A and B are shown apart, each in its own frame.
Chain A
Amino acid sequence: MKNLQKDYEMLSAYIDGELSENEIKSTEEKLAIRNDLQKKLDELKRIKQLTKSSVKLPAESLYLETRIFANITPSKNRNKKFKRILPAFSFAALAILLMVFLRFNPKILDELFESQKMNVADFYKQNLKPLLLTAGLTNEDIFNFAFNKQLPLDKNNKQCIKLGYDRDGNEFFEIKTAGFTDDSNNFEDFVNALKLNQQQKRQMDSILESYSDEMQDKILINDKNTVAINPELWNYNKAIFADIMTFAENANNEEFVKIMPAGYVMHEKPVIDRMVKEIKSRSSNKYIFFTPDSIFMDTFEFDKKKFAEEMKKMDKELEKNMKEVERELKNLNIEIKLNDHLTKFKLDSLWDDDFNVYIDSNSCRVNLSKIVIPKIDFPDFDSIAAQIERSLKHMQSFTFEFPQNKGRINEFHFRIDSDDSAALKDLDVKIKLPNLDSMMLHHSPKIDSILRFNMKFLDSIPNFQKFNFYMESDSFKYPGKFFTYDSLMFNQEKFEEQMREFEKEMNKLKEEMERFQDEYYRDKKEIKKKNEPVEI
Chain B
Amino acid sequence: MKFKRKKTGLENLKILNLDDDFSLIKRFIEDDESAFETLVHRHKDKVRNIIFITLGNGNTVDDIAQEVFLTVYKNLKSFRFQSQFTTWLFRITVNKCKDHLRKVKIRNIISFFKEDEEEPGYNISYENINTAEIVQKAIEKLPEKLRLPLLLKDIQGLSYQEIAEIAKCELGTVKSRIFRAREGLKNILEPFRQELMS
Using a CB–CB cutoff of 8 Å, the interface residues on chain A facing chain B are: 8-9, 11-13, 16, 18, 43-44, 47-48, 50-58, 60-61, 63-65, 67-69, 71-72, 75
* B180, chain A: closest CB distance, angstroms: 9
17 contacts between A and B (CB under 8 A): A8-B179, A12-B179, A18-B175, A47-B186, A50-B131, A50-B196, A52-B155, A55-B135, A61-B62, A64-B62, A65-B37, A65-B41, A67-B62, A68-B69, A68-B70, A68-B73, A71-B66
**Chain B residues at the A interface, C-beta cutoff of 8 Å:** 36-37, 40-41, 44-45, 48-49, 52-53, 58, 61-62, 65-66, 69-70, 73-74, 131-136, 139, 150-151, 153-155, 159-160, 175-176, 178-179, 182-183, 185-186, 189, 196
| Cross-interface CB contact of A58 among B52, B69, B182, B186, cutoff 8 Å | B52
Q: In the assembled complex, which residues on chain B have CB atoms less than 8 Å from the CB atom of A54?
A: 131-136, 139
B88: shortest Cβ distance to chain A, in Å?
A: 17
Q: Are B196 and A68 in contact (CB under 8 A)?
A: no
How long is the Cα–Cα vector from A473 to B179 in the complex, in angstroms?
A: 150
Complex-state Cα separation, A48 to B139, whole angstroms:
11
Chain B hits for A57, CB < 8 A: 48-49, 52, 155
With A64-B48, A65-B37 known to touch, is A51 a contact of B66 (CB < 8 Å)? no
Known: A12-B182, A67-B66, A72-B73. A51 touches B48 (CB 8 A): no
Known: A44-B182, A65-B44, A69-B37. A50 touches B189 (CB 8 A): yes
Q: Is the CB of B66 within 8 A of A64?
A: yes
Complex: A64 Cα to B70 Cα, angstroms: 12
The chain A residue sitting closest to B133, CB to CB, is A54
Contact yes or no, A55 B53, CB < 8 A:
yes
| Nearest chain A residue, comparing its CB with the CB of B69 | A68
Report the 6 A-B pairs with minimum CB-CB distance, sorted nearest first.
A54-B135, A12-B179, A54-B132, A58-B58, A9-B179, A51-B154
A48-B70 in contact (CB<8A): no
Residue in B36, B155, B189 whose CB lies within 8 Å of A55: B155
Question: Bound complex: CA of A352 vs CA of B46, how far in Å?
Answer: 79
Interchain CB contact (< 8 A) of B44 among A12, A64, A72: A64
Asked whether A48 lies within 8 Å of B44 as measured between CB atoms, the reply is no
- Which residues of chain A are near B151, meaning CB under 8 Å? 51, 55
Contacts of B133 in A (CB 8 A): 54
**How far, in whole Å, are A295 and B127 apart by their CA atoms in the complex?**
97
Is the pair B69, A51 in contact by a Cβ cutoff of 8 Å?
Answer: no
Nearest CB to that of A51 among chain B residues?
Answer: B154
Judge whether B150 and A13 touch: CB under 8 Å.
no
Q: Which residues of chain B come closer than 8 Å to A13, judged between CB atoms?
A: 160, 175, 178-179
Closest B residue, CB atoms, query A8? B179
Q: How far is the CB of B75 from chain A (nearest CB, A)?
A: 13
Q: Shortest beta-carbon distance, B159 to chain A, in Å?
A: 7
Bound CA–CA A12/B178 (angstroms): 8
Give the distance in Å from the alpha carbon of A47 to the alpha carbon of B132 in the complex: 12
Closest to B161 in A: A18
Q: Smallest distance from the beta carbon of B7 to chain A beta carbons, Å? A: 31
Question: Are A72's CB and B70's CB within 8 A?
Answer: yes
Instruction: Give the Cβ gap from A43 to chain B, nearest Cβ, in Å.
Output: 6
Give the chain B neighbours of A51 by CB distance below 8 A. 135, 139, 150-151, 154-155, 182, 185
Min Cβ gap A529→B in Å is 112
Among B62, B136, B179, B185, which residue has the most Cβ atoms of chain A within 10 A? B179
CB distance from B42 to the nearest CB of A (A): 11
The residue that B185 contacts in the complex, of A11, A47, A58, with Cβ under 8 A, is A47
Docked pose: A44 CA to B154 CA in angstroms: 12
A51 vs B137: C-alpha distance when bound (angstroms): 11
- Nearest B residue to A57, CB-CB: B49
Asked if residues A47 and B40 are in contact (CB atoms below 8 Å), the reply is no
Q: Which residue of B lies closest to A72 (CB)?
A: B73
- B49 surroundings in chain A (CB, below 8 A): 57-58
CB neighbours of A11 from chain B (8 A)? 179
- Which residue, of B36, B52, B178, B182, has the highest number of chain A Cβ atoms within 10 A? B182
Complex CA gap A9/B182 in Å reads: 10
* Interfacial chain A residues near B132, Cβ < 8 Å: 53-54, 56
Name the CB-closest residue of A to B156. A57
Please indicate the chain A residues that have their CB under 8 angstroms from the CB of B53 in the complex.
55
Sample of 5 more A-B contacts, CB < 8 Å, known A18-B175, A54-B134, A54-B139 = A47-B186, A55-B136, A64-B48, A64-B65, A67-B62
Q: Are B62 and A52 in touch, CB under 8 angstroms?
A: no
CB distance from B38 to the nearest CB of A (A): 11
Known: A47-B185, A58-B48, A67-B66. A16 touches B135 (CB 8 A): no
User: What is the bound-complex CA distance between A419 and B131, given in angstroms?
Assistant: 132
A117 to B125, CA, bound (A): 86
Which residue of chain B has its CB nearest to the CB of A53? B132
Check if B44 sits within 8 Å of A50, measured CB to CB.
no
